[in-house]
Amino acid sequence: MASVLTNGDLNILAQITLESLKVGLQPLTSWSTGFRSAARLNDSAKVWVNSQTLDATDFNKSSNNYEDVGADATVGVDVLLDTKIKKTAEIAEEDYAKIDISSKLRDIGYAVANEAVLRTYNKLTAANYATSVNVGAASGFTYDDVVDLEVAADDAGFANGRSLLLANTYTANLKKDGVLIANKNNSVDPAMVWQRFDAIANFATMSSSLLKSSTPASGENLVGFITDSSALALAMGTPEYNGGGDVEVATVTDESGIGLQLRRHYSRATGSIYLNAVMLFGSEVTRATGLQRLVSA
Q: Is residue 87 located within the same domain as residue 153?
A: no
117 and 239 assigned to the same domain: yes
pTM of the model: 0.87
**Whether the Cβ atoms of residue 31 and residue 227 lie closer than 8 Å to each other:** yes
Task: Give yes or no: residues 274 and 242 share one domain.
Answer: yes
30 vs 56 pLDDT, higher one: 30
Q: What's the structural domain count of the chain?
A: 2
Q: Is residue 60 included in any domain, yes or no?
A: no
Amino acid making up residue 115: E
Same domain, 33 and 117: yes
Q: What is the CATH number of the domain that holds 183?
A: 3.30.2320.10
The rounded distance, in Å, linking the Cα atoms of 79 and 282 is 6
Q: Which domain holds residue 241?
A: 4-50+75-123+235-280
Average pLDDT across the chain, whole number: 88
* Mean pLDDT along residues 211-215: 93
Query: Within this chain, do residues 170 and 265 fall inside the same structural domain, yes or no?
Result: no
In sequence order, the 6+-apart residues with CB closer than 8 A to the CB of 201 are 143, 146, 147, 149, 150, 164
Convert the pLDDT of each residue in 56-111 to its tens digit: 778 887 777 887 777 766 688 999 999 999 999 999 988 866 788 899 999 999 99
Q: Is residue 65 part of a domain?
A: no
Q: Residues 86, 153: one domain? A: no
For 157, half-sphere exposure in the C-beta direction (CA atoms, 13 angstrom radius) is 15
pLDDT tens for residues 220-253? 999 999 999 999 999 999 999 877 778 899 999 9
